[in-house]
Amino acid sequence: MDIRILIVEDDAITRDCLVDYFREEQYRVFSAQSAEAAEQLLSGQEVDLILLDIRLPGKDGLTLTRELRAGSEVGIILVTSRQDDIERIIGLECGADEYVTKPFNPRELLARAKNLVRRVRASTAGLPTEATGNVCQFDDWRFDLDRRVLLDQDGQQTPLTHGEYQLLCAFMRHSGQTLSRDQLMDQMKNREWAPNDRTVDVLVGRLRRKLKDDPAQPRTILTVHGAGYVFTPRAISCP
């Protein structure tokens, strides 16, 4: 598996250690010391995975994550030196896939990198660029399952990340059923999780925003306090 990884880290010693480690594991490694340098590199080079330090000089890692996620499915692992749940949640809300805290075990980081690349490649493999017949409809939305985009009544497209796509598919398979966070994580194949993981909550929030579902008074994805979530569209039509 030819994996291209970009390491964005302002500390030269840490950056060089990570570069050497991933090269020993046969990765094609690129590196940058700032978000701006990373953007310049990405303008001419595709990568499969970005290992991104949050606290960078100038533009920080969270801002870069948000900007990248607006138009890319690249895997993003955020790195921080702080044990901060709020920062972790913000990172996930910005579109990051994974989150690791320094000091980290290199073997664990490698395992996370491999799993994430596998998920991203599986979710984007062979996606068509033109509209297909494999489209579901619910409420005022069309959901193109092959291209993994939502289309509103005017035909405006909203792409979904692989996590958002997996979550929406899980909801549609179990429309009208209350699903716990654990059940939803089990439905989202190949995603690692731990007790008290907020990944589902973050993905629900992102999906609600894309569906224009007011989180204060949601009508499509309802919160069942103490139990989980339930998907309640007026009707679903799938081929």
Single residue among 124, 151, 167 that ends a domain in this structure: 124
Is residue 220, in this structure, part of any structural domain at all? yes
Rg of the chain on CA atoms, in Å: 19
User: Are 11 and 119 in the same domain?
Assistant: yes
Distinct helix (H) and strand (E) counts, the chain = 8, 13
State the pairing for strand pair 4-8/49-53. parallel
Is residue 129, in this structure, part of any structural domain at all? no
Residues 52 and 61: their CA atoms lie apart, in Å, by: 6
User: Are 15 and 117 in the same domain?
Assistant: yes
User: Are 113 and 52 in the same domain?
Assistant: yes
Helix 85-94 to helix 199-210 angle (10° resolution) is 40
pLDDT at 124: 58
229, 204 Cβ separation under 8 angstroms: yes
Q: Total domain count for the chain?
A: 2
Residues 91 and 78: their CA atoms lie apart, in Å, by: 7
User: Are 34 and 140 in the same domain?
Assistant: no
Is residue 130, in this structure, part of any structural domain at all? no
User: Are 113 and 20 in the same domain?
Assistant: yes
User: How many other C-beta atoms lie within 10 A of the C-beta of residue 119?
Assistant: 21
Q: Specify the CATH number for the domain of residue 186.
A: 1.10.10.10
Is residue 212, in this structure, part of any structural domain at all? yes
User: Are 151 and 227 in the same domain?
Assistant: yes
What parts of the chain have a pLDDT lower than 70?
1, 83-84, 122-133, 189-197, 239
User: Are 43 and 96 in the same domain?
Assistant: yes
User: Are 8 and 120 in the same domain?
Assistant: yes
- What tokens does 210 get? 């894309």
Supply the DSSP string of 137-179, one letter for each residue: EETTEEEETTTTEEE-TT--EEE--HHHHHHHHHHHHTTTSEE
Q: Specify the CATH number for the domain of residue 9.
A: 3.40.50.2300
Residues 91 and 97: their CA atoms lie apart, in Å, by: 9
Q: List Cα–Cα distances, 120 to 103, 150, 200, in angstroms.
A: 26, 19, 18
Is residue 148, in this structure, part of any structural domain at all? yes
- What tokens does 152 get? 């509103």
Single residue among 67, 94, 124 that ends a domain in this structure: 124
Residues 109 and 115: their CA atoms lie apart, in Å, by: 10
Domain range for 162 is: 135-237
Residues 235 and 137: their CA atoms lie apart, in Å, by: 8
pLDDT at 132: 53
Enter the DSSP assignment of 185: H
pTM attached to this predicted model = 0.62
Residues 13 and 156: their CA atoms lie apart, in Å, by: 46
